[in-house]
Amino acid sequence: MYVPLITIVVPVFNVEKYIDTCVKSILNQVYSNLEIILVDDGSTDMSGYKCDINNMHIIFYY
């Protein structure tokens, strides 16, 4: 059975407090064939670092 890949693009800009909850919420969905792309647009807080260590299977762009 074909299960389509769903891509979720998350813009990241100074959301250090919320990025963990956001990613966990996406990963906890019932639908499991997901690709998550986090796009950091020059955050000045630790958002980028948290994205890097969050999960090795998430695509992260600076």
pLDDT tens string 6-53? 999 999 999 999 998 998 899 899 998 888 888 888 899 998 888 777
DSSP secondary structure letter of residue 56: T
Q: Where are the beta strands (DSSP E) in 1-62?
A: 6-12, 34-40, 59-61
Computed from CA positions of residues 42, 61, 8, 34, in that sequence, does the dihedral angle turn out positive or negative?
negative
* pTM given for the model: 0.78
Check pLDDT > 60 for residue 55: no
